[in-house]
Amino acid sequence: MGIKKELGKKIKKMRQNRGLTQEQLAEAVDVSQRTLSGIEIGENFVTAETLDKIIKALNTTSEELFALEHIKPTSELVKNIIANTKKLEKKPEKIELLYKITKSLLDD
């Protein structure tokens, strides 16, 4: 996946996590909703000025916005979780904590 798509995906995720619509973020950033949509799907790349406005509107930092390495397909994340869990087999206290965390996520 290219940087435009990765960055767009991250912007969209952060916008949604903050409960903003595309229209709301586009207005805050002073771009059209169509432009923001293009940014989020990786068709358009942002100018430095627009990027600065997005960072401010999302109340984030450039470091957080560009931390893209964790954006992976769900199937890959599941494989990594399983592999990490297997590494903890000899640490029962950590396995118990991991169990509690995963169980609490299922209770939602």
What is the C-alpha to C-alpha distance for residues 82 and 74, in angstroms, rounded to an integer? Answer: 12
10-67 tens-digit pLDDT? 999 999 999 999 999 999 999 999 999 999 999 988 899 999 999 999 999 988 888 8
So what's the pLDDT on residue 45? 86
Contact 7, 66 (CB under 8 A): yes
| Cα 79 to Cα 87: distance, rounded to the nearest angstrom | 13
pLDDT tens-digit series, residues 63-90:
888 886 666 778 888 898 899 899 998 8
pLDDT at 36: 96
The residue with tokens 């805050």 is: 28
Which helix or strand (DSSP H or E) is residue 83 part of? helix 74-87
